[in-house]
Amino acid sequence: MEAAIRSPAMINVVAVCGSLRKGSYHRGLIRAAMELSKESVNGLNIEYVDISPLPFLNTDLEVGGTYPPAVEAFREKIQQADCYLFASPEYNYSVTGPLKNAIDWASRPPNVWADKAAAIVSAGGGFGGGRSQYHLRQIGVYLDLHFINKPELFVKAFEKPVKFDSDGNLVDTATKEHLKEVLISLKRFTLRLQGKCE
């Protein structure tokens, strides 16, 4: 009797957005990634985790080895994930304050980011948010995160053709296809780090 063929386990992706604005293009990129994971990238389950409830990092809030409830919940989500998708806006050539705050909370002992795969997407002006991506990669060295190298996605949000609608939803077909390639690369790299094959 032949052994049953097992389908690959689902890869759980936590998506974190560095913008708190409801109509953010970065949240639109995450929504598009979630749709793509259901329609055309099998094996990925993307969960958006809101960082807005997190208090400002303050180690006085760490009591008896525990963290505030919102921080504990966030850290648990990060720890349980197989990999991460960062949507990182560029503010002053760097990542946003809210994103850095979330990163720092999850890096408090024990660092729950460590040894996981990650991808970054961004949207913006001339460089499409690219400087924030390169700074986030630098931060990731200390966190022991393993970012995919290719493909990179820097969406030039204000150039034609229109990339996003008035609600921040990604509408450009070519950008969606590029985002799909990012997700496929993230999936493959995650499996590779886990010692599995697709």
Q: Looking at the predicted structure, is the pLDDT value of residue 191 above 80? A: yes
User: Can you give the pLDDT at residue 127?
Assistant: 81
Q: Which has more confidence, 8 or 23?
A: 23
Please name the residue that has the structure tokens 């700074």: 135
Report residue 7's pLDDT band, with 50, 70 and 90 as the boundaries.
very low
Averaged pLDDT for residues 166-180: 96
How far apart CA 1 and CA 124 sit, in angstroms, is 57
Per-residue pLDDT tens digits for 56-90:
999 999 999 899 999 999 999 999 999 999 999 99
CB contact at 8 A, 172 and 161: yes
CB contact at 8 A, 49 and 16: yes
Q: Looking at the predicted structure, is the pLDDT value of residue 44 above 50? A: yes
Amino acid at 137: R
3-class SS of residue 8? coil
Report residue 1's pLDDT band, with 50, 70 and 90 as the boundaries.
very low
Q: What token pair was written down for 49?
A: 């985790």
CB contact at 8 A, 140 and 118: yes
> What is the topology classification, in CATH, of domain 11-56+67-193?
Rossmann fold (3.40.50)
3-state SS string over the chain? CCCCCCCCCCEEEEEEECCCCCCCHHHHHHHHHHHHHHHCCCCEEEEECCCCCCCCCCHHHCECCECCHHHHHHHHHHHHCCEEEEECCCECCECCHHHHHHHHHHHCCCCCCCCCEEEEEEEECCCCCHHHHHHHHHHHHHHCCEECCCCCEEEECCCCCCCECCCCCECCHHHHHHHHHHHHHHHHHHHHHCCCCC
Domain boundaries, the chain: 11-56+67-193
Report residue 6's pLDDT band, with 50, 70 and 90 as the boundaries.
very low
Per-residue pLDDT tens digits for 89-108:
999 999 999 999 999 999 99
Q: What token pair was written down for 173?
A: 């077909």
Pairing between β-strand 44-48 and β-strand 146-147 as defined by DSSP bridges:
unpaired
Percent of the chain's residues with pLDDT above 90: 85
Cα of 115 vs its chain's centroid, Å: 15
Report residue 128's pLDDT band, with 50, 70 and 90 as the boundaries.
confident
Averaged pLDDT for residues 160-185: 96
Averaged pLDDT for residues 178-194: 97
